[in-house]
Amino acid sequence: MWFTKKSNTQKSNPQPEPIAPSATPEAAPTSNHAVDWLRANVSRISRDHVAPGDIDIRAHLLDSGYVDSLSAIELLAGIERQFGVRIQEVDIVGRLCTIEALAREIDVRANGAAR
Q: Within 10 Å of residue 38's Cβ, how many Cβ atoms?
A: 27
Q: Could you tell me if residue 1 is inside a domain?
A: no
Q: Could you tell me if residue 104 is inside a domain?
A: yes
What pLDDT band is residue 47 in, cutting at 50, 70 and 90?
confident
Domain count, the chain: 1
Instruction: Give the domain extent around 65.
Output: 28-110
Q: Record the pTM.
A: 0.70
Q: Could you tell me if residue 68 is inside a domain?
A: yes
What 3-state DSSP class applies to 42? helix
Contacts of 86 (CB under 8 A, 6+ apart): 80
Q: Could you tell me if residue 100 is inside a domain?
A: yes
Contacts of 37 (CB under 8 A, 6+ apart): 82
Q: Could you tell me if residue 115 is inside a domain?
A: no
Higher pLDDT, 12 or 66: 66
Q: Could you tell me if residue 49 is inside a domain?
A: yes
Rounded distance between C-alpha atoms, residue 67 and residue 84, angstroms? 21
- Averaged pLDDT of the chain: 79
Domain CATH for 88: 1.10.1200.10
Q: Could you tell me if residue 10 is inside a domain?
A: no
Higher pLDDT, 46 or 86: 86
